[in-house]
Amino acid sequence: MTPDALGAARARLAECETSEHMPFSEAPHAEATPEASLRVDAVETRLIESALERAKSNKSLAARLLGLTRGQLYSHIEKDGLKA
């Protein structure tokens, strides 16, 4: 995911979700370290998980929310070992 696509995905998720469902609010702040919470792959994974949750596991909708093709989303799901 390119930095532009990542930023666009964040913006789309922010428009359609409440703060309690945002990926960063799910992480326990006291235990988060900069290395664990700001790694690009960890941020991507949280964005994808959040989009899948928001889309109720509808991968086509989740891909649209993230600005990805369905194939790109499947690649990320497989790479990250996500349950979808």
Residue 64: CB atoms within 10 Å = 16
Q: How many helices (H) and strands (E) does the chain have?
A: 6, 0
Q: How far apart are CA 33 and CA 65, in angstroms?
A: 28
Q: How far apart are CA 29 and CA 53, in angstroms?
A: 21
Domain residue limits at 31:
3-80
Picking from 80, 55, 81, 78, the residue whose alpha carbon sits closest to that of residue 66 is 55
The predicted model scores a pTM of 0.56
pLDDT of residue 33: 59
Q: How many domains does the chain have?
A: 1
Q: What would the pLDDT profile of 1-41 be if each residue is shown by its tens digit?
A: 677 777 777 777 666 655 444 455 444 444 555 555 668 88
